Chain A
Amino acid sequence: MTSGKTIIALGLVIAAVLIQTTVFQYIRPLGYAPALGMLTVIALARFLDPEQTLFVAFTGGFLQDLLGGSPLGLWASTFTVVAFIALKIRDREIAGTPIVLLGVFGLTLIGQFTYVVLGTLFGQGTINRPGLVGHLLVPALYNVVLAYPIFWLTKITVRPPERTWVS
Chain B
Amino acid sequence: MFPSGRRVDRSTALFVTLLAVGFLIATFDVRSSGDSITTVIRGGAQTLAAPVQEAIDFVVRPVVGFVDGISNVAGLSDQNERLEAEVRRLEQRLRETSALERRVAELEAINDLAPPEDLATVTARIYSAGASTFDQIRLINRGSENGIVVGQAVVDEDGLVGRVDLVTRSSSRVRLITDPLVSVGVRVQDTNQTGVVTGRGDDVLRLDMFDATQPVNKGAVVLTDGSLFPPGIVVGFADETKSADVGFALRTTIDPAAAFSQLDFVKVVVGWSPLDADPEADDSLVDAPSFTDPGLGRR
| A124-165 at interface with B (beta carbon < 8 Å) | 124-126, 128-131, 135, 139
Check if B134 sits within 8 Å of A119, measured CB to CB.
Answer: yes
Min Cβ gap B254→A in Å is 14
Q: Which residues of B contact A65 (CB under 8 A)?
A: 131
Q: Which of A2-10, A69-77, A96-104 is the contact stretch?
A: A69-77
| Binary per-residue interface labels of chain B (129-167) against chain A in the complex, 1 for a CB within 8 Å, 0 otherwise | 111111111110000000000000000000000000000
Tell me which residues across on chain A come within 8 A of B2, comparing CB atoms: 50, 91
Interface residues in B1-46 (C-beta closer than 8 Å to A): 1-2, 7, 10-11, 14-15, 18-19, 21-30, 38, 41-42, 45-46
Residues of A within 8 A of B261 (CB): 28, 31
Q: Are A77 and B134 in contact (CB under 8 A)?
A: no
Tell me if A42 counts as interface (CB < 8 A to partner B).
no
The residue that B134 contacts in the complex, of A17, A51, A58, A126, with Cβ under 8 A, is A126
B18 contacts A115, CB within 8 Å? no
What string of 1s and 0s marks CB contacts (under 8 Å) between B52-75 and chain A? 110011001100100000000000
Known: A22-B60, A23-B56, A122-B26. A54 touches B11 (CB 8 A): yes
**A25 in contact with B129 (CB, 8 Å):** yes
Task: Check B128 against A22 for contact (C-beta < 8 Å).
Answer: yes
Judge if B274 is at the interface, Cβ distance under 8 Å: no
Q: B10 to chain A: which residues have CB within 8 Å?
A: 50-51
Interface residues of A in 58-74 (CB under 8 A from B): 58, 61-74
The interface size bin for chain B is: 35 or more
Nearest-neighbour CB distance to chain B for A64, whole angstroms, equals: 4
Per-position 1/0 for A73-95, Cβ under 8 A of B? 11111001100100110011000
Query: Chain A: which residue is nearest B134 at the CB level?
Result: A126
Question: Within 8 Å of chain A (Cβ to Cβ): is B225?
Answer: no
Residues 7-44 (chain A) with a chain B CB within 8 angstroms: 17-28, 31-33, 35, 37
Q: B25 to A131, Cβ gap below 8 A?
A: no
Asked whether, in the complex, the Cβ of B132 is within 8 Å of the Cβ of A67, the reply is no
Q: Which of B98-106, B108-116, B199-207 lies at the interface?
A: B199-207
Contact yes or no, B42 A72, CB < 8 A: yes
A110 CB, nearest partner CB in chain B, Å: 14
Q: Is B271 an interface residue (CB 8 A)?
A: no
- Among the 9-residue stretches B175-183, B188-196, B242-250, B278-286, the one with 4 or more Cβ atoms under 8 Å from chain A is B175-183
Complex: how many Å from CA A33 to CA B203?
A: 15
Residue of B nearest to A34 (CB): B133
In the bound complex, CA of A2 to CA of B180 (Å):
43
A135 touches B18 (CB 8 A): no
Given A50-B7, A54-B14, A130-B200, decide whether A67 and B134 contact each other with a Cβ distance below 8 A.
no
Contacts from B to A (Cβ < 8 Å) = 1-2, 7, 10-11, 14-15, 18-19, 21-30, 38, 41-42, 45-46, 49, 52-53, 56-57, 60-61, 64, 126-139, 173, 175, 179-181, 200-204, 261
A residues near B, CB below 8 A?
17-28, 31-33, 35, 37, 50-51, 54-55, 58, 61-77, 80-81, 84, 87-88, 91-92, 115-116, 118-119, 122-126, 128-131, 135, 139
